[in-house]
Chains A and B, each alone.
Chain A
Amino acid sequence: MTFRSPRPLIGQCTPFGPAHSDSVTHPPHQRRLVEREQQKLTVARDSSHVKGKMEQHTGAVDFNILLATDSYKVTHYKQYPPNTSKVYSYFECREKRTDSTKLRKVKYDKTVFYGLQYILNKYLKGQVVTPEKIQEAKEVYREHFQDDVFNEKGWNYILEKYKGHLPIEIKAVPEGSVIPRGNVLFTVESTDPECYWLTNWVETILVQSWYPITVATNSREQKKILAKYLMETSGSLVGLEYKLHDFGYRGVSSQETAGIGASAHLVNFKGTDTVAGIGVIKKYYGTKDPVPGYSVPAAEHSTITAWGKDHEKDAFEHIVKQFPSVPVSIVSDSYDIYNACEKIWGEDLRSLIEMRSADAPLLVRPDSGNPLDTVLKVLEILGKKFHPVENSKGYKVLPPYIRVIQGDGVDINTLQEIVEGMKKHRWSIENISFGSGGALLQKLTRDLLNCSFKCSYVVTNGLGVNVFKDPVADPNKRSKKGRLSLHRTPSGDFVTLEEGKGDLEEYGEDLLHTVFRNGKIVKTYTFDEVRDNAKLKESEVKDLLL
């Protein structure tokens, strides 16, 4: 949005696209910089061919917190009131006071707090400011703004006084906590009066915690649905943790997202194919179990279709025999799912399937069509070929050596429809498990839970001021005021106290704990603790069954 002709862009855009010639757009003193960078790039590219992947990763070492923020934040140190010595901000999943959109089936009135520890460990702890990083940022921003707006002095102060450690304090609710919307989840404040501007510099990176929070919350809501129907149709919750398998690796937007999102799903479940999530948990949380998530051998279309259309049966038979003693899932819709269930599984390979055990069932996987209709029809066909029994609750259960897994079109709404439809048709939820990809890890935005980060308190001229926004056009966007704390009332409800009122003893302890201070992580949670905090409480399950 630069308007400064004759500076770049304006007037240099060709009618049908931008002009991008650096020699044209950069004044001479800046051209040198560009050339230097190009040289650097060339070197990096060349070595990458030689050294390969190791050289390619930009990763943690290369990560520059000075370049990991929204551009405009680079200019904010100039904008706070004079003599500001502290900025204090907080993060919440706002409660929607008015909902103009259509009534959602799922209300998401509580959120699972998860993922901050990853961000702190990976990006914020330790010496994150170095002379090289300051220099790099200075050069990038000069080109980016076509001006010297970068706060070099401020960053040098952090480098010198704190050896490059960030002088901020972050207090947060314990990871895994299930907290009603509209409460503070974490607060951030500068600890050095000179670094008032740093609080909101890290907003961009911290707000990305919306993602693990939202995945964990949405996954937990699906767990509630599954728990309810599993309990109603089988009388127990056995196997609940394996009912929703993560199929989302390919459908997320990056490797890093896959790691974060998949780990968030594993807060609630134990089945995953998104290997990256396990790496995140092992590295940033830790578990007592060797791995926090499991999988089973399974076919994909290529391993079936590679046999040719006339050899689908051979493919099925081969794969079933390859994995005799563990569960094996076989996608059966390459050509005709119903024919596959009736003729191949139900007749040609029936005796082979009957030899399998409860520990090593065949999982038939449909992968197209309307999810509910397809599941019901598949169950009906399999029920005719492999005779179901009635369980203690009066619902039909296929023999233990055969199950169904539905992994296409599964989101929280279709999941509800399928389990409800199965119940109506007297099928126990024991017969099925689900896979979810895009809906579990990608079809989510920051708006689902209205995650936002707002400044609520500043100190100017030595005086603390409670601040807030309250836009006339949208009362939902009103923010909290002053210093915040989170408490439990005697009746067990959560309450956020504003304007520093939580300092009074009568409200009991603040549930926000300092997790980060001046570059050090001072409190961590194991993944077992996270899971324990987020587990479905007996009272919740009881409520679901009402």
Chain B
Amino acid sequence: MAAQDFNFLLATDSYKITHYKQYPPNVSKVYSYFECRHKKGAQFSEVVFFGLQYLLKKYLAGPVVTEEKIQEAKVFYQMHFKQSVFDEEGWRKVLEKYDGRLPIRIKAVPEGKIVPRGNVLFTVENTDPDFFWLTNFIETMLVQMWYPITVATISREFKKILAKHLKATSGSLEGLDLKLHDFGYRGVSSQESAALGGAAHLVNFCSTDTVAGLLMAQRYYACPMAGFSIPAAEHSTIISWGRSREKDAYECLLDQFPSGPVAVVSDSYDIFKACKHIWGDKLKERVMERSEDSPLIIRPDSGDPAETLIEVIKILEECFGCSLNSVGYKVLPSYLRIIQGDGIDLNSINEILEKLSDEGWSAENVFFGCGSALVQKLNRDTLNCAFKCSYVEANGKGMDVYKQPVTDPSKGSKRGRLCLRRNSDGFIETVERGAGKPEEDMLVTVFENGTIVQEYTLDEIRKAAQLWEDDVSPSQHNKEDGPTLDIHQKHIMNGVH
């Protein structure tokens, strides 16, 4: 987004330009909230809250209204609606009264927090009665929060699956946060989405090729380096050697990157022959020269992911042997690993890991790369993200409002001013109709009248979003993690709203 070019007044759904004329007369406050609606039988029961700080810093903080922007918007909307509907006076008042800063208060759950579906995640309200229309003007922009929330949530679901299998087949969680590498840069819809989605994945993992996500974590979440990568081949660097010189291409990679891991895509022509005849025969000695710190990581990239992976690992076992780990699962020699980056989603990764363990293989042997299933193949309905008005004040009187369509009860909205709290049983719940006590409200004011008043670092966010013991092994108790794992957190896991 080009800085000077961005005009906040042009960053909303067109129809919102007309809404100031539509609210009841004498309205002085509009109060709205965002939630991931609860849906019966939904795949995901809890969400990771992430990304608001980026939106606030990039688009809402400071003086966002100028006379030039008002003029630009006025001219634009005149042409767009073919009539004058733009509220020029209203915006000029923002400029005059607040120096172009937005008289809005946003309260939100801390970033990284894990919250069960169906709870308020943030609220928005105008702080000056003149600007009742501003609350929902910024809905469009704020609802785009669905994206980082959904990516962070899906990525964490991947982490749960990986943690479960890794624990079961290796006895520890070592290396967990490098198990799922972000391959999604090219498969997202823009540079900005790459940055946002890439950063959301980094809430849960430290492994990425989406450089844009690292820069976002630096610039907006104060993390100097949030993720790591390794040298790796792509098809062009293999096939440019010609079909008859695939072996030479591979050897070049081993030569160029002797110390440190290197990943080599090996399916340009025939993944199985490449494993058996090139890696397992012609270059066998070279592969065996490598070490645990500098493994060769073979990458299949076509075919049915589970079948291909099993066949590849069997071929490698024949050529290089394997050993048993402390919990009795097979592990390839430490200089050799596999990364599967094609066709990975929540279903296939589980299927692959189950097949591997069925065949006696530890999850230590494999890494995964995921592109579109991680950062693109998701939408606002994945977690039913919605922003709704729940409270207004008119003629000095407050009123709880809601929608409740007969044609779809799941679209019903919450009523009144909202508070998020942990109840006496340890469950997170939303208290409606202004009945919540301020002292137990988990919503924190993050934005007020143009200023960001609370910030989070990626480190803090990562801590908050850590997996809990129950995510990994529901039946076991790990005393070492006692201090970080209070009774409430365990309860949240089972919390139903």
| 5 pairs of A and B residues whose beta carbons are closest in the complex | A52-B62, A57-B3, A473-B303, A369-B407, A17-B466
A239 contacts the other chain (CB 8 A): no
The residue from B21, B32, B214 contacting A322, defined by CB atoms under 8 A apart: B21
Cβ of B95 to closest chain A Cβ, rounded Å = 13
A319 within 8 A of B: yes
**Set of chain B residues within 8 Å of A274, measured between Cβ atoms:** 13-14
Contact, CB under 8 Å: A260 / B189: yes
Give complex CA distance A303, B30 in Å.
10
Closest chain A residue to B133, Cβ basis:
A303
Contacts of B222 in A (CB 8 A): 38, 41, 45
Is B193 on the interface with A (CB-CB < 8 A)? Answer: yes
Kindly list chain B residues whose C-beta atoms are within 8 Å of the C-beta of A278: 76, 80
CA distance in complex: A17, B376 (Å): 25
Residue B129 CB within 8 A of the other chain: no
B249 at the interface (CB under 8 A from A): yes
A154 vs B124: C-alpha distance in the bound complex, in angstroms?
Answer: 50
B22 in contact with A75 (CB, 8 Å): no
A56 with B401: CB separation less than 8 A: no
Not counting A58-B1, A301-B413, A442-B379, a sample of 4 additional A-B residue pairs whose C-beta atoms are within 8 angstroms of each other reads A211-B189, A255-B59, A336-B405, A454-B236
A72-B230 Cα distance, complex, nearest whole Å: 7
> Which chain B residues (6-56) contact chain A, with CB distance < 8 Å?
6, 8, 10-16, 18-19, 21-24, 27, 30, 32
The yes or no answer to A423 lying at the interface (CB within 8 A) is no
Query: Does A251 lie within 8 Å of B302, measured CB to CB?
Result: no
- A216 to B350 Cα, complex, angstroms: 35
Rounded to whole angstroms, the CA-CA distance of A296 and B399 in the bound complex is: 29
Residue of A nearest to B173 (CB): A15
User: Do A472 and B269 touch (CB < 8 A)?
Assistant: yes
Q: Which of A221-271 contact B (CB under 8 A)?
A: 247, 249-258, 260-261
- Cβ contact of A211, chosen from B81, B190, B293, B387, cutoff 8 A: B190
Is there a chain A Cβ closer than 8 Å to B357's Cβ? no
Chain A nearest Cβ from B165, distance in angstroms? 15
Given A140-B211, A473-B303; A257-B15 close (CB under 8 Å): no
Interface string of B242-278 (1 = CB under 8 A from A): 1101001100110011011101000111111100000
B212 surroundings in chain A (CB, below 8 A): 67-68
**Contact status B224-A37, CB under 8 Å:** yes
* 21 pairs, CB–CB < 8 Å, chain A vs chain B: A1-B229, A1-B337, A9-B178, A16-B173, A18-B205, A20-B458, A49-B62, A56-B3, A56-B61, A56-B62, A57-B3, A57-B4, A149-B231, A204-B185, A255-B141, A275-B11, A295-B80, A300-B136, A325-B83, A467-B242, A471-B268
Chain A residues lying within 8 Å of B294, measured Cβ to Cβ, are 3-4
B348 sits at the interface (CB 8 A):
no
B492 close to chain A: CB less than 8 A:
no
- Give the distance in Å from the alpha carbon of A62 to the alpha carbon of B192 in the complex: 13
- Using Cβ atoms and an 8 Å threshold, which residues of chain A touch B5? 59, 279, 283
Bound Cα distance from A305 to B468, whole angstroms: 40
Question: Is A306 a contact partner of B62 (Cβ separation < 8 A)?
Answer: no
Total interface residues in chain A, CB < 8 Å: 157
Q: CB of B144 within 8 A of chain A?
A: yes
> In the assembly, what is the distance between CA of A153 and CA of B451, in Å?
43
What is the chain A residue whose CB lies nearest that of B147? A253
Q: How far is the CA of A329 from the CA of B19 in the complex (A)?
A: 12
- In the complex, residue of chain A having the shortest beta-carbon distance to the beta carbon of B215: A67
- Minimal beta-carbon separation of B347 from chain A (angstroms): 14
Say whether A60 contacts B14, CB under 8 Å.
no
- List the B residue with the shortest CB-CB distance to A20: B459
User: A1 to B173, Cβ gap below 8 A?
Assistant: no
Contacts of A13 in B (CB 8 A): 173-177
A8 and B297 CA atoms in complex are apart in Å by 19
Q: Answer whether residue B218 sits at the interface, using C-beta atoms and an 8 A cutoff.
A: yes
Q: B206 within 8 Å of A by Cβ?
A: yes
Q: Provide the residues of chain B in CB contact with A273, threshold 8 Å.
A: 13-15
Find out whether the CB atom of A335 lies under 8 angstroms from the CB atom of B405: yes
Residue B109 lies at the interface, judged by CB distance under 8 Å to chain A: no
Q: Return the CB mask of B375-399 against A: 1 if under 8 Å, else 0.
A: 0110111000001110010100001
Measured in the bound complex, the distance between the Cα atoms of B204 and A485 in whole Å is 45
Docked complex Cα distance between A251 and B85 (Å): 25
Measured CB to CB, the nearest residue on chain B to A271 is B14
Specify which of A9, A60, A460 lies most central, judged by the most chain B CB atoms within 10 Å of its CB.
Answer: A9
Bound CA–CA A247/B12 (angstroms) = 11
- Give residues 207-222 of B contacting A (CB, 8 Å): 207-212, 214-215, 218-219, 222
* Among candidates B197, B413, B484, residue contacting A253 with C-beta atoms closer than 8 Å: B197
A293 to B77 Cα, complex, angstroms:
11
Q: How far is the CA of A22 from the CA of B295 in the complex (A)?
A: 25
B487 within 8 A of A: no
Complex contact B297–A1 (CB within 8 A):
yes
Q: Quick check: is B404 within 8 A (CB to CB) of the other chain?
A: yes
A10 to B403, CA, bound (A): 51
Question: A3 contacts which chain B residues (CB < 8 A)?
Answer: 261, 292-295, 337
Q: Is the CB of B240 within 8 A of A307?
A: no
Q: Are A255 and B11 closer than 8 Å at their CB atoms?
A: yes
Query: Counting chain B CB atoms within 10 Å of each CB, which of A9, A58, A290 scores highest?
Result: A58
Are A70 and B303 neighbours in the complex by a CB distance under 8 Å? no
Q: Is A455 an interface residue (CB 8 A)?
A: yes
- Considering only residues 276-303 of chain A, those with a C-beta below 8 Å from chain B are 276, 278-279, 283, 290-291, 293-303
Q: Please report the C-alpha to C-alpha distance between residue A164 and residue B494 in the assembled complex, in whole angstroms.
A: 56
Find out whether the CB atom of A469 lies under 8 angstroms from the CB atom of B6.
no
Tell me if A71 and B260 are in contact (CB < 8 A): no
Q: Is the CB of A208 closer than 8 A to any CB of chain B?
A: yes
Assess whether B403 is in contact with A471, with CB atoms less than 8 Å apart: no
Complex: how many Å from CA A446 to CA B194? 14
Residues from chain A with Cβ under 8 Å of B388 in the complex:
301-302
Q: Given A20-B459, A48-B62, A473-B267 in contact, is the A256-B81 Cβ separation under 8 Å?
A: no
CB-CB nearest in chain B for A57? B3
Interface residue from A72, A78, A279, A319 paired with B234 (Cβ < 8 Å): A72
Asked whether, in the complex, the Cβ of B224 is within 8 Å of the Cβ of A256, the reply is no
Interface positions of B from 95 to 138, Cβ below 8 Å from A:
101, 136
CB distance from A318 to the nearest CB of B (A): 7
Closest to A84 in B: B240
A138 within 8 A of B: no
**Residue-by-residue, is A71-87 near B (CB-CB < 8 Å gives 1, otherwise 0)?**
11101101111001001
In the bound complex, residues from chain B placing their C-beta under 8 Å from that of A538 are none
User: With A15-B172, A60-B2, A335-B405 in contact, do A318 and B22 touch (Cβ < 8 Å)?
Assistant: yes
- Asked if B3 and A302 make an inter-chain contact with CB atoms under 8 angstroms apart, the answer reads no
Contacts of B485 in A (CB 8 A): 16
B469 on the A face (CB < 8 A): yes
Complex Cα–Cα for A1 and B182 (A):
11
| Interface flag for A447 (CB, 8 Å) | yes
Q: Are A302 and B192 in contact (CB under 8 A)?
A: no
Q: How long is the Cα–Cα vector from A468 to B242 in the complex, in angstroms? A: 8
In contact, B177 and A59 (Cβ under 8 angstroms):
no
Q: Is B416 an interface residue (CB 8 A)?
A: no
Q: Is the C-beta of B228 less than 8 angstroms from some C-beta in chain A?
A: yes
Contact flag A81-B240 (CB < 8 Å), given A68-B191, A276-B11, A294-B80? yes
Q: Which residues of A contact B463 (CB under 8 A)?
A: 17
How far apart sit A274 and B232, CA to CA, in the bound complex (Å)? 39
* Shortest Cβ gap from A520 to chain B (Å): 20
Let me know if B187 is at the binding interface, CB within 8 A. yes
Write out the residue numbers on chain B whose beta carbons fall within 8 Å of the beta carbon of A51.
62
Q: How far is the CB of B260 from chain A (nearest CB, A)?
A: 6
For B444, list chain A residues within 8 Å (CB).
Answer: none
Chain A, Cβ-Cβ closest to B293: A4
CA distance A249 to B138 in the complex (A): 12
Among B178, B252, B413: residue with most chain A CB under 10 A: B178
| B242: nearest chain-A partner, CB-CB | A465
Interchain CB contact under 8 A, B191 and A250:
no
Whole-angstrom distance between the Cβ of A381 and the nearest chain B Cβ:
13
Residue from A70, A308, A455 whose CB has the most chain B CB atoms within 10 Å:
A70
Residues of chain B lying within 8 A (CB to CB) of residue A366: 407
Contacts of B190 in A (CB 8 A): 208, 211, 253-254, 256-257, 260
Select the residue from B8, B229, B293 with max chain A CB neighbours within 10 A: B229
